[in-house]
Chains A and B, each alone.
Chain A
Amino acid sequence: MEPLSKLLHQSQKRLLQMHFESGVGHIGCNLSCLDLLMVLHHRIMKENDQFILSKGHSAGALYITLWSLGKLKEEDLKSFHGEHTKLSGHPAPNGLKEIIFATGSLGHGFSLANGLALSKKLKKEPGRVFCLTSDGEWQEGSNWEALIFSKHQQLESLTLIVDANGLQGFGNTKEVAGMNELRKKFESFGVSVEEIDGHDLNAIEKALSANQKGPRAIIACTTKGKGVSFMENKMEWHYLSLNGDQYRQAVEDLEKS
């Protein structure tokens, strides 16, 4: 996957630059899901497919992915998190065709994706619906309502991707409210589950292209702060913004990888 690796590398650096210049945090959880978003958008999604970012705090990774597709311009990224911007810290209703729903409060996206998939089913329209949630987000009860619904309604076009980086806002997910084996829980709802390395581009592509009927879930095991030595698996990078030295170090780390 040579060409995508190169583009991914550029995108990681552009993500860091955007967060550094805007002084915005949430970098760790953007880096954990960027590989997933890039493979999904560049290799998997076709014209009739739809995507919902349920973990709205990874808006930066989504904006960068859309930039890498040519859907957002440099000047758009420069406005990120500023005044008079369309690119707020969590996606807001902003008229972008690719951002069907604003998110930011956890536990909404998967239900919204259920609605899109139900629409396809009722209209007998082609296409797939993808939704990316975090792992901590599965502490929200509404997600389980959506999981029951997706299976009961046999929403075959629906694929759930969980960015399982193991860390959440105020601790380690296992320590905060452990969901001991999300996989088994999903399976007990009748949903087929695949667990993958969320940074192995080939594994992501293979899992997402699988010709299996949904609803299905892909639990992508990821690393918060992936690629930046001092951020990896550090909870504080859910919030912190980069200072100049840290930014230079982070870029150096990415260049070495």
Chain B
Amino acid sequence: MRNIFCETLIKHANDPSFVFMTGDLGYMALEPLRKAAGTRFINAGISEQNMISVSAGLASQGFLPWAYSIAPFIYARPLEQIRNDVCFHDLPVKLVGNGGGYAYGVMGSSHHAIDDYGILLTLPNMRVFIPAFDSDIPPMVERLIHLKHPAYLRLGRDEKSADFDPPPYSPWRKILNGEGPALIAVGPLAGSMLNSMKALNSNQRPSLWALTELPVTFETIPAELKADIKSSNHLIVAEEHVAHGGAGEMLARILLLNGEAPKKFTHYCAQGYVSGYYGSQSFHRTESGLTAETILKDLKK
């Protein structure tokens, strides 16, 4: 996704309000953007706190700054700068974190971001974007450019199979019909869920929805999804994020508040470091039970 993100931003780099800051990351990826943006591509050095406040200063003067790092470094170290300088002032600083969730795999826990959007969504005015497919990036960047508020873009890896052509971008998209439970997958997990679920018989097959923007409100949940939840009376949420502050909690809360809670709710999410051993993204997902195989097994019970 990072390369498409870079290509997309290059198209906007001539806009006088464009400015891109990186915390010394982007080697072998962002060089073309650096070339295109010239003096408005700034390597702020390994200093995330300063980078965020500088971005806030720029945004206060009419710039639309992008502040980039790998996902774990863009939100945790400079959290107070994000809260006080960006969010309290409702400034359009766009935080970009590459490799959300367990994406950095065996690099270790310091490089994982499994609590990123939960933490950020506690802050005022913050919006979160989690693209599911490569093709989501251009329309999402367009939305981010027009959004006059703080935002966090969590980049991952497109996990769908090559033969699937995603529907046009929307924060909610139904990508598989089924008569089973309503399954909401956040971001790229939607792709791998789709690959495993499509072969199921329709009576077992979940109706699969890709969710790519947070927070969600009851009003913006599509009527068709509400109907899917109602008819199956079972909602499943899968996300590469801890339970606290995740999309699962958020959805359960708003469905309860609005008297539309299904009888059954299952949440597949990041469980941290279950065995104390480290491995690939797939290793940590498996340890967390955050795989299509686990969900299928549970569905057959």
Taking the closest CB of chain B, its distance from the CB of A214, in whole angstroms, is 15
* Range, interface on chain B: 20 to 34
B60 touches A101 (CB 8 A): yes
Q: What residue in chain A is nearest B59 (Cβ atoms)?
A: A115
Taking the closest CB of chain B, its distance from the CB of A167, in whole angstroms, is 24
Taking the closest CB of chain A, its distance from the CB of B40, in whole angstroms, is 6
A118 CB within 8 Å of chain B = yes
A112 CB within 8 Å of chain B = yes
A138 CB within 8 Å of chain B = no
Given A111-B50, A145-B45, decide whether A122 and B55 contact each other with a Cβ distance below 8 A: no
Partner of B50, one of A93, A100, A104, A145: A145
Partner of A114, one of B19, B39, B57, B59: B57
Scan residues 81-114 of chain A and give those whose CB is less than 8 A from a CB of chain B: 92-93, 100-105, 107-108, 111-114
A149 touches B50 (CB 8 A): yes
B61 touches A114 (CB 8 A): no
Taking the closest CB of chain A, its distance from the CB of B299, in whole angstroms, is 48
A152 CB within 8 Å of chain B = yes
B85 touches A119 (CB 8 A): no
By DSSP majority rule, is chain A's interface helix, strand, loop, or mixed?
Answer: helix
Task: Report which A residues bind B (CB closer than 8 A).
Answer: 92-93, 100-105, 107-108, 111-120, 122-123, 141-142, 145-146, 148-149, 152-153
B47 touches A122 (CB 8 A): no
Scan residues 124-149 of chain B and give those whose CB is less than 8 A from a CB of chain A: none
B49 touches A141 (CB 8 A): yes
B89 CB within 8 Å of chain A = yes
Taking the closest CB of chain A, its distance from the CB of B148, in whole angstroms, is 15
Taking the closest CB of chain A, its distance from the CB of B164, in whole angstroms, is 42
Q: What residue in chain B is nearest A153 (Cβ atoms)?
A: B42
- Kindly state the separation between the CA atoms of A116 and B88 in the bound complex, as whole angstroms: 17
B54 CB within 8 Å of chain A = yes
- Kindly state the separation between the CA atoms of A115 and B44 in the bound complex, as whole angstroms: 11
Q: Which of A103, A112, A122 has the most CB of B within 10 A?
A: A112
Taking the closest CB of chain A, its distance from the CB of B38, in whole angstroms, is 10
- Kindly state the separation between the CA atoms of A100 and B85 in the bound complex, as whole angstroms: 10
B56 CB within 8 Å of chain A = yes
Scan residues 21-44 of chain B and give those whose CB is less than 8 A from a CB of chain A: 39-40, 42, 44
B233 CB within 8 Å of chain A = no
